[in-house]
A and B are shown apart, each in its own frame.
Chain A
């Protein structure tokens, strides 16, 4: 009963939050403030037209995100084997570059894929992320914009807080990556992510101009 009520609440809030953040979005044009965007933001969204970029939003302090690091590493390896760029993003204003490096070393992901500190939360806001860990799959338009193909849970390792499976039974982000790579439709609607909410700061793009449009 606790579990179902938690799911309902999380689902409700997530739905509202995502709906608010992503109202009417299917694709994202180059952002007006791209000139002011950080180099980290530009590096994630820059690439050739049609290029696939997989992102996982993580947080060094989120136990659910940390517990999924081996799974995320495996997904990154699979993605890269398919020519899909893979980036992990810390959408946290309080995280330092040093703690990002330390976290990557602690969880054995340094060198496995790119890890970006999104202290201004530009990447998270642009993609519409609300939770860590949360997976996204983008198709770049070559001009700094993208089409979002997937935004949702990485896998079902956790069904609720305090409910961890031995192994995930559904690898949702990996399925989405494979589908997009093979030209098939990605799962829709995407299963909702469960974990630690991204607390957008008042100065982050999400609070002034919800992205993506």
Chain B
């Protein structure tokens, strides 16, 4: 009898320990995967920083974690691109933590972020309360410098901001400044490409990815002049100021390798009503190089993106949505030989089945600005390959004694 009681007690202790471990896992996973955006200083519009706040949104949070919408992960994980996609076990553990109202706490960030200088547009622009997404390009003066990355300088303001995606390009000759002066407003309604320099050449940010940091050893060169800050915004139901404040993260002396941008825009884009269409953009790499990062921009009609490098799928976005867009810094720089081909495939949907279709019935769509025009581009950030170290030569016979 005593033996049986002991066995039952032992089983109960084991079960309690297992449950406790699982509970800890769930809260820790919630903290790791949810709190970076939904915690204190949240960039997401819904805060889950405390148990009380989590309880207000418990059902929605459970559903979105369970079906994989959260945490947002547009790209499929592969050997080159990391993804926030969770396993079903991780999702179950987080949902269990949500049910218990446990938010956990964020581990202290071990990495000390370099100090950063903020660049600010001259004035904010007012986003209308309603209508479609809008693209606004601002400019801000900047000194010549090398940076390793960028981040939002006013992270806390993002939660209630219309800003969804920001990409930067150098504008040393002040072309955006001149257009802004002619327009008379704060910023201009245009893309932020500067000549052949695509917007994104200096990095990109979004609410999903509020910091863009190149791998150690790499930098981007900014010439003196202006930076063009292309800003994609969505209405939030009230007029709201759009004032992208971007902090430039300086490069260290060890970040010696310069990164440059390769633009792969969809040209002559046109979408017939009630039709889907895929555009293929090809680019040959001129010299041995390493691809460090990739980004894709598109509007309401862009549904899928795939980028192949030398025949290998590097980026695969099966369900593009601009509100969750982000730049992708590759897990490791990807070596590409001179002559290798990069192929970007952009799938567009101008049918009623597109959940962001703005017209009923669908209308023909031409290249242009959102919400009723469409444009798409892939931007690769690449560095020249490092020359292989010279092979040690065998001693010359003449040199021998």
Docked-complex contact B63 and A199, CB < 8 angstroms: no
In terms of DSSP, what is the predominant structure of the interface of chain A?
A: mixed
A68 touches B237 (CB 8 A): yes
How many angstroms between the C-alpha atoms of A1 and B304 in the bound complex? 11
Contacts of B344-384 to chain A: CB distance below 8 A: 355-360, 370-372
* CB pair A166 B358 closer than 8 Å: yes
- Contact present for B318 and A1 (CB under 8 Å): yes
Which B20-75 residues sit within 8 Å CB-CB of chain A?
A: 45-46, 52, 55-60, 63-64, 66-70, 72
Which residues of chain B come closer than 8 Å to A2, judged between CB atoms?
67-69, 319
Residues of B within 8 A of A121 (CB): none
CB–CB B238/A166 < 8 A: no
B300 within 8 Å of A (CB atoms): yes
Is the beta-carbon distance between B357 and A6 smaller than 8 angstroms?
no
Partner pick for A69 among B57, B58, B238, B300, CB 8 A cutoff = B238
Q: Is A67 an interface residue (CB 8 A)?
A: yes
Q: How far is the CA of A130 from the CA of B368 in the complex (A)?
A: 39
| Residues in chain A near residue B66, CB distance under 8 A | 9
How far, in whole Å, are A197 and B57 apart by their CA atoms in the complex?
7
CB contacts (< 8 Å) of A61 on chain B: these are 46, 56-57
Whether A165 pairs with B300 at a CB distance below 8 angstroms is yes
Q: What is the bound-complex CA distance between A13 and B58, given in angstroms?
A: 13
Q: Mark out the residues of chain A between 57 and 81 whose CB falls within 8 Å of any chain B CB in the assembled complex.
A: 61-63, 66-71
- In the complex, chain B residues whose CB is within 8 Å of the CB of A71: 130
Number of A positions contacting B (CB below 8 A): 37
Task: Give the size range of B's interface with the partner.
Answer: 35 or more
Partner pick for A164 among B60, B63, B234, B319, CB 8 A cutoff: B234
1/0 contact string of B325-360 vs chain A (CB within 8 Å): 000000000000000000000000000000111111
Please tell me if B172 contacts chain A, counting CB pairs below 8 Å. no
Question: Given known contacts A63-B236, A70-B129, A199-B58, is B69 in contact with A164 (CB within 8 Å)?
Answer: no
Q: Is the CB of A196 within 8 A of B236?
A: no
Interface 9-mer from A20-28, A45-53, A154-162, A203-211: A154-162
Complex partner residue of A5 from B46, B68, B130, CB under 8 angstroms: B68
Chain A residues, Cβ within 8 Å of B321: 3, 162-163
Contact at B236–A67, with CB atoms within 8 Å?
yes
Please pick, from A10, A62, A165, A170, the residue contacting B63 in the complex, using a CB distance under 8 A.
A10
Among residues of B, the one whose C-beta sits closest to the C-beta of A69 is: B237
State whether the Cβ of B174 lies closer than 8 Å to any Cβ in chain A: no
Query: B185 interface residue, CB < 8 Å from A?
Result: no
Q: Is the CB of B129 within 8 A of A161?
A: no
Known: A68-B237, A69-B237. A164 touches B56 (CB 8 A): no
A8 proximity list for chain B (CB < 8 A) = 67
CB within 8 A of A197: which of B60, B67, B238, B360?
B60
Report chain B residues within 8 Å CB of A166: 131-133, 300, 356, 358, 370-372
Bound: A193/B324 CA distance, A: 22
Partner of A66, one of B236, B356, B357: B236
Q: By the criterion CB–CB under 8 Å, are A107 and B131 in contact?
A: no
User: Is B323 within 8 A of A162, CB to CB?
Assistant: yes
Q: Assess the B356–A164 pair: CB atoms within 8 A.
A: yes
In the complex, which residues of chain B have a beta carbon less than 8 angstroms from the beta carbon of A6? 63-64, 67, 69
Query: Which listed residue (B63, B237, B371) contacts A107, Cβ 8 A?
Result: B237
Q: Which residue of A lies closest to B74 (CB)?
A: A2
Verify if A36 is at the interface (C-beta below 8 Å from B): no
If the complex has contacts A164-B323, A165-B356, are A108 and B56 also in contact, measured as CB distance less than 8 A?
no
Q: Which residues between 52 and 100 of chain B lie within 8 Å of chain A, taking CB atoms?
A: 52, 55-60, 63-64, 66-70, 72
| A41 at interface by CB-CB < 8 Å | no
Cα distance A166–B135 in the bound complex, in angstroms: 13
List chain B residues, Cβ under 8 A from A160: 69, 355
A-B contact pairs, 13 of them (CB 8 A): A5-B67, A9-B67, A13-B59, A62-B46, A63-B236, A66-B237, A69-B237, A166-B132, A166-B356, A196-B60, A197-B57, A197-B63, A199-B56
Given A13-B59, A169-B360, 5 more pairs with CB closer than 8 A:
A5-B68, A69-B129, A162-B321, A166-B372, A199-B56
Residues of chain B touching chain A, judged by Cβ–Cβ distance below 8 Å, are: 45-46, 52, 55-60, 63-64, 66-70, 72, 129-133, 234-238, 300, 318-319, 321, 323-324, 355-360, 370-372
A positions within 8 Å CB-CB of B: 1-3, 5-6, 8-10, 13, 61-63, 66-71, 92, 94, 106-108, 159-167, 169-170, 196-197, 199
